[in-house]
Structure 1
Amino acid sequence: MKIAVLYGGTSGEREVSLSTGKGIIEALEKNGHEVTGIDFHPERLDEILKLEVDLVFIGLHGRFGEDGRIQGLLDMIGLPYVGSGVLASALAMDKSRAKQIFKQAGIPIAQSNAYAVDQYETLNEMEVDIKENFTLPFVIKPNQEGSTLGLTIVREWSQVADALKNAADSDDVILVEDYISGKEVTVPVIGLKGKEQALPIIEIIPKGDHYDFASKYEPGGSEHIVPARVSDRLTEEIQQFAVHAHQALGCDVYSRVDFILTEEDVPVILEVNTLPGMTPTSLFPDSASKIGWSYDEMIERFVELTMTRK
């Protein structure tokens, strides 16, 4: 088929997307497809509008890629694409609204509040409100951002001001939530709607204090244990939660669902990634390899599922 791959973009995750795009393009070419790569920019939409392809594979992360906007454009011009549609993408990107949906679905969440920057005259006013409603430690992060960009684990009150500024640089809504300590795990989900399956759970052991940007994308930044070292009962429970979260948001074809497993063995959901990284150090390919799928085979499965969906 003729397949266009969108990668790069303008978000804070651009460098990650460049690597994702490279991997996807190489896999598609090895699988025999005719591939057009586009380093996406919202000021060059004519590159999208002029496309004459059978399918678009979105390798973008963050704003203008993972938030439903590019999906809306592709829907309007009638180009099929791999992955979730507009609504599911937008909901997954909006962490505050996604958490409300997870709660309704019976999936454990961390308690949180969303703060709109324009509703406060200064960040100092927001800081006062946060100090009245949260106890240390807690997390401050942008409501719509990925790869832990703009995230701070606040362990001292003196950190709050800088943490708010850091988050506000990425988004006009700031999410503050209880800090949940425990084991970080993630679950890839794949399949057509109503027929999704969870792949092996990945346990993540960051080399630093927590799973930050460097831990995710720098070689040796974290260790991935597949399958995760949890009981069979917990494995089934976490995988079920992952599929339910995917379905609750209306995701399609594939996603990756992140959890913290508390010391009491409660899986607390963090977020659903509708366009998870596909770099050499990414998690989804690690899990897929555990059940015998090569990277190229995994990418082809995404394509096949999408064309089956048409």
Structure 2
Amino acid sequence: MSERTVAVLAGGLSHEREVSLRSGRRLAAALRKVGAVVLEWDVDAALVERLRTDPPDAVAIALHGGEGENGSVQAVLELLDIPFVGTSARSCRRAWDKPTAKAELARSGLDTPDWVALPHTTFRALGAQAVLDAMVDRLGLPLMLKPDQGGSALGAQVVADRADLPAAMVSCLAYADTVLAERFIVGTEVAVSVVEDRGEPRALPPVEVDAVGGVYDYTARYTPGATTFHCPARLDATVLAALEEAALASHRLLGLRDVSRMDAVVDADGRVQILEVNVSPGLTETSMLPIASAAAGTDLGELYAALVERAVERG
């Protein structure tokens, strides 16, 4: 790439700070290899002044959780007219709130596991046990519990026994005020990353997740050796095509831009059940976007360099 100055934003104050720093370091190294001048900036009270006094050609966001994915940082960049790689602030907000995104996906005809989202106040006002009983009667067991906002599977857990639900709810509520309870789908867990070439989204090869413990939780995601990845996923061509189409449809439907990642489960009938869509995919040594990019024969630095150029052109 031409000698662009790119500020890589990583860190922040979310629960996913350490993962974000790892993503940021890898992205910075990849961009330097293709000739960029890279500034590695944390997201703190000094950021706005840095952007005003030393504006880069573009910003690449390697933030996970909180302000990095809910549209807050993107909104500030838009206010300052700083070009950045990634989804606009408004569309970040749509994807960040899992129940909202799932509702949009379901309305469009895409499959997503049945769910209910309930705030902490509902359990307190109506009685936790009564609400939990109604939840199980409707969705059955096992259930996947997760915070309604957030990533890296923080607070997410599978509950197979009704007696374990209260403790699991308390654990989940440590990360958010609202719990998303989702029918647990048994099947093959797959992630499909989408990147844009000259404005047209394309799906990278689907990555199959084979977690040693059977659940792709925080430990399985970020502990080397805890998960085996297969790219492309070990599924037949028809299912692989359906996965790619679902990822592209989700990317377009939610108004995402430049890069995204769809997490899904392929059930016993071969249907793609979309779990969520991420606007800031991880870039660590165990993250799936770099795995898919390598499988497609695309260098990570070159991929992001092209996205930086698009961001500059938009700006």
1: distance between equivalents of 2:47 and 2:24? Answer: 18
C-alpha contact (below 8 Å) 1:185/1:260 kept by paired residues? yes
Q: Which residue of 1 aligns with 2:156?
A: 151
Q: Within the alignment, does 1:16 sit opposite 2:19 as a pair?
A: yes
Q: Secondary structure at the match of 1:271?
A: strand
1: distance between equivalents of 2:50 and 2:124? Answer: 41
1:25-174 equivalence runs, <5 A:
25-41=28-44, 45-121=48-124, 124=128, 126-174=131-179
Q: Which moved more, 1:145-154 or 1:292-301?
A: 292-301
Amino acid at match of 1:41: D
C-alpha contact (below 8 Å) 2:31/2:302 kept by paired residues? no
Q: Secondary structure at the match of 1:75?
A: helix
Which of 172, 185, 189 is equivalent to 1:184?
A: 189
Q: Within the alignment, does 1:238 sit opposite 2:237 as a pair?
A: no
C-alpha spacing 1:221/1:243, structure 2 compared with 1 (3 Å)? same
What's the offset of the Cα at 1:295?
2.4
What's the offset of the Cα at 1:231?
1.5
Normalising by structure 1, we get a TM-score of 0.94
1:65-105 CA distance string (max 9 Å, x none): 11101000110111111010112211111100000111122
C-alpha contact (below 8 Å) 1:187/1:256 kept by paired residues? yes
C-alpha contact (below 8 Å) 2:190/2:209 kept by paired residues? yes
C-alpha contact (below 8 Å) 1:185/1:259 kept by paired residues? yes
C-alpha contact (below 8 Å) 2:157/2:217 kept by paired residues? no
What's the offset of the Cα at 1:166?
1.1
Q: Which moved more, 1:194-203 or 1:139-148?
A: 194-203
C-alpha contact (below 8 Å) 2:114/2:139 kept by paired residues? no
Amino acid at match of 2:73: I
Amino acid at match of 2:85: V
Q: Secondary structure at the match of 1:101?
A: helix
Q: Which moved more, 1:233-242 or 1:28-37?
A: 28-37
What's the offset of the Cα at 1:182?
0.4
CA RMSD of aligned residues (A): 1.8
Q: Which residue of 2 aligns with 1:282?
A: 287
Q: Identity, % of aligned pairs? A: 31
Normalising by structure 2, we get a TM-score of 0.93
What's the offset of the Cα at 1:185?
0.7
2: distance between equivalents of 1:117 and 1:179? Answer: 21
Q: Which residue of 2 aligns with 1:306?
A: 311
C-alpha spacing 1:104/1:76, structure 2 compared with 1 (3 Å)? same
What are structure 1's unaligned runs of at least 5 residues? none
Q: Secondary structure at the match of 2:194?
A: strand
1: distance between equivalents of 2:141 and 2:296? Answer: 41
C-alpha spacing 1:96/1:57, structure 2 compared with 1 (3 Å)? same
Q: Secondary structure at the match of 1:40?
A: coil
C-alpha contact (below 8 Å) 2:283/2:289 kept by paired residues? yes
1:250-293 CA distance string (max 9 Å, x none): 00011111110001101100111110001111111111111211
C-alpha contact (below 8 Å) 2:57/2:312 kept by paired residues? no
Q: Which moved more, 1:190-199 or 1:41-50?
A: 41-50
Q: Which moved more, 1:124-133 or 1:275-284?
A: 124-133
Q: Secondary structure at the match of 2:244?
A: helix
Q: Within the alignment, does 1:258 sit opposite 2:263 as a pair?
A: yes
Amino acid at match of 1:98: A
1:94-131 CA distance string (max 9 Å, x none): 10000011112211010001102234426725434424
2: distance between equivalents of 1:43 and 1:53? Answer: 15
Q: Secondary structure at the match of 2:67?
A: coil
2: distance between equivalents of 1:213 and 1:243? Answer: 26
What are structure 2's unaligned runs of at least 5 residues? none
What's the offset of the Cα at 1:29?
1.8
What's the offset of the Cα at 1:221?
1.6
C-alpha spacing 1:127/1:46, structure 2 compared with 1 (3 Å)? farther
Which of 206, 221, 228 is equivalent to 2:211?
A: 206
